[in-house]
């Protein structure tokens, strides 16, 4: 059975684009165009995760989130054009699990969806969570890291970080961006957390292949470089 996602979004173009990418990633998708319909569809569709716009007709996203939380622990990711700290705090207080500001990159949103589903225990039933490179397999379905034919014991957060970097080879990520996308917006640690996890991953991966590597981009962040 496919993982089900409810999109509550009044902008038809954004809703249709989200549906396109999510269905391509093997999710079952339902769309509601206002807050009232969002609550109705939530009860009918019984999704595994809700993508919830903040500024909605009939009832705003905060009201919808409160209504969902009154009857369910289903994960909620808020989508909004606002990026102020106060809005993030309000989202947290209403029970949101994550928060992404428009405009966003679709790969970032898909990564957030997967991370929130994993944290909630609703792991998506997909076959696309496996990355293969020379002498390296990152399998997020089984949370197994295989390096040069050997399975390497790797904590979940290291796996998520490596998978996130390797999913978009050669893209440079700032440390704050990695904290936000891998640890989640409700994590209040500092960027040294990323450095520590990268160091541990390098101990497992350094020198294994000349076709890829974890690279530091000085003054910026990190990337999974493929040559």
Each domain of the chain, given as residue ranges in start order, spans 4-120, 130-226
How large is the average pLDDT for residues 11-26?
A: 89
State the CATH architecture for 130-226. Orthogonal Bundle (1.10)
What number of helices (H) and strands (E) belong to the chain? 8, 12
Instruction: Identify the bridge partners of residue 162 per DSSP, sorted by sequence position.
Output: none
Q: In what order do the strands lie in the sheet with 221-226?
A: 173-174, 221-226, 212-217
| Tokens of residue 221, six digits | 């962040």
With a cut of 50, say whether residue 211 has pLDDT above it. yes
More confident residue, 217 or 94: 217
Spatial distance between the Cα atoms of 154 and 6, rounded to a whole number of angstroms = 32
Spatial distance between the Cα atoms of 201 and 190, rounded to a whole number of angstroms = 18
Q: Are 55 and 80 a contacting pair, CB within 8 Å?
A: yes
pLDDT band at 169 (very low <50, low <70, confident <90, very high): confident
| Tokens of residue 16, six digits | 């249709």
Looking at residue 125, what is its pLDDT? 45
53-81 pLDDT, tens digit each: 988 999 999 899 999 999 998 999 998 87
Spatial distance between the Cα atoms of 127 and 4, rounded to a whole number of angstroms = 16
Q: Tell me if the domain spanning 4-120 has CATH number 3.40.50.2300.
A: yes
pTM exceeds 0.75, yes or no: no
CA dist list (Å): 111 to 7, 62, 104, 160, 183: 16, 23, 12, 10, 11
Spatial distance between the Cα atoms of 44 and 54, rounded to a whole number of angstroms = 21
- What is the three-class DSSP state of 51? strand
How large is the average pLDDT for residues 185-209?
A: 84
Q: Are 111 and 168 a contacting pair, CB within 8 Å?
A: no
99-139 pLDDT, tens digit each: 888 888 888 888 889 888 877 766 544 446 788 888 999 98
pLDDT band at 88 (very low <50, low <70, confident <90, very high): low
């Amino acid at each position: 059975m496919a993982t089900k996602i409810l999109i509550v979004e009044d902008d038809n173009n954004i809703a249709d684009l989200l549906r396109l990418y999510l269905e391509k990633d093997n999710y079952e998708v339902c769309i509601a165009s206002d807050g009232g319909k969002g609550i109705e569809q939530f009860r009918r569709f019984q999704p595994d995760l809700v993508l919830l716009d903040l500024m909605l007709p009939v009832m705003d996203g905060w009201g919808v989130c409160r209504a969902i939380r009154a009857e369910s622990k289903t994960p909620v990711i808020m989508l909004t054009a606002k990026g102020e700290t106060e809005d993030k705090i309000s989202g947290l207080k209403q029970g949101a699990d994550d928060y992404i500001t428009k405009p966003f990159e679709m790969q970032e949103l898909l990564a957030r969806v997967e991370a929130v589903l994993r944290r909630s225990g609703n792991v998506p039933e997909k076959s696309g969570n496996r990355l293969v490179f020379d002498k390296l397999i990152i399998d997020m379905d089984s949370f197994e890291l295989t390096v040069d034919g050997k399975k390497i014991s790797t904590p979940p957060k290291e796996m998520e970080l490596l998978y996130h970097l390797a999913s978009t080879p050669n893209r440079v990520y700032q440390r704050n961006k990695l904290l936000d996308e891998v640890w989640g917006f409700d994590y209040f640690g500092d960027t040294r957390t990323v450095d520590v996890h990268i160091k541990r991953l390098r101990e497992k991966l350094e020198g294994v292949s000349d076709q890829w590597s974890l690279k530091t981009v000085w003054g910026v962040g990190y990337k999974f470089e493929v040559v």
